[in-house]
């Protein structure tokens, strides 16, 4: 095992519990190989998930993909960052491309598509994407996550339907 992989594995082992050690290991890994997509991806995750510096996270993800556009490990986190930043068109295009990559864990990308539609309040489309994620999934733990996300989206869909009826009543001056 070369030094880069040793430090990347140390960083992965430490994340997210020991952030200082994670960043130290990533710094060593990137000093050996500044184009290591795993190290760049994990650094992006630190910035997105721990420091909430989405612009910096986005730069790390983009740099990783500039070195290897087929780095499947980057896409789920990059897409989530784009969604969190409200860059919905960029997220949509990235999802579309990610779904074409060989070796991509498709269930996770379909989940990101469902989350994107959820953010856009397109609940019917979100549930359709979630259905495909369920069909692509082969992980029991992930199945329970998908189920709880489906319940959340269905709940929002019901609220959305209900608020439409309330608005109609409020806008009708004859209704008391």
- Tell me the pLDDT tens digit for each residue of 66-90: 999 999 999 999 999 999 999 999 9
Q: Where are the domains of the chain?
A: 3-171
pLDDT at 162: 84
Query: Any idea how long the chain is?
Result: 176
pLDDT at 166: 52
Summary mean pLDDT of the chain: 94
Asked whether the predicted pLDDT for residue 147 surpasses 80, the reply is yes
Angle between helices 19-32 and 3-14 (to 10 degrees): 160
pLDDT at 51: 97
Among the four given CATH numbers 3.40.50.720, 2.40.50.140, 1.25.40.10, 3.30.390.30, the one describing domain 3-171: 1.25.40.10
Residues 131/136/141/143 CA torsion (nearest 10 deg): 20
Q: Report, as an integer, the average pLDDT of 121-148.
A: 96
pLDDT at 164: 64
Cβ-based burial of 125 (10 A; exposed 0-12, middle 13-18, buried ≥19): middle
pLDDT at 28: 97
Of 65 and 1, the structure prediction assigns the larger pLDDT to: 65
Give CA 113 to chain center in angstroms: 9
Asked whether the predicted pLDDT for residue 143 surpasses 80, the reply is yes
- Residues 143, 146, 152: CA angle, nearest 5 degrees: 145
Q: Each residue of 155-176: pLDDT tens digit?
A: 999 999 987 665 555 555 555 4
pTM for this structure?
0.90
Give the whole-number percent of the chain exceeding pLDDT 90.
90
pLDDT at 89: 98
């Amino acid at each position: 095992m070369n030094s880069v992989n040793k430090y990347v594995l140390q960083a992965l082992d430490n994340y997210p519990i020991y952030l200082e050690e994670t960043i130290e290991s990533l710094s060593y890994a990137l000093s050996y190989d500044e184009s290591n997509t795993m190290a760049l991806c994990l650094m992006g995750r630190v910035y997105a998930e721990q420091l909430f510096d989405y612009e910096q996270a986005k730069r790390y993800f983009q740099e990783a993909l500039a070195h290897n556009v087929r780095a499947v490990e980057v896409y789920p986190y990059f897409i989530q960052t784009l969604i969190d930043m409200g860059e919905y068109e960029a997220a949509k295009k990235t999802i579309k491309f990610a779904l074409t990559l060989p070796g991509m864990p498709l269930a996770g990308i379909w989940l990101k598509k469902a989350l994107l539609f959820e953010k856009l309040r397109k609940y019917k489309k979100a549930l359709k994407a979630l259905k495909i994620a369920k069909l692509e999934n082969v992980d029991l733990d992930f199945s329970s996550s998908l189920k709880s996300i489906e319940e959340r989206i269905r709940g929002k869909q019901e609220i959305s339907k209900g608020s439409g009826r309330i608005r109609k009543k409020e806008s009708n001056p004859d209704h008391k």
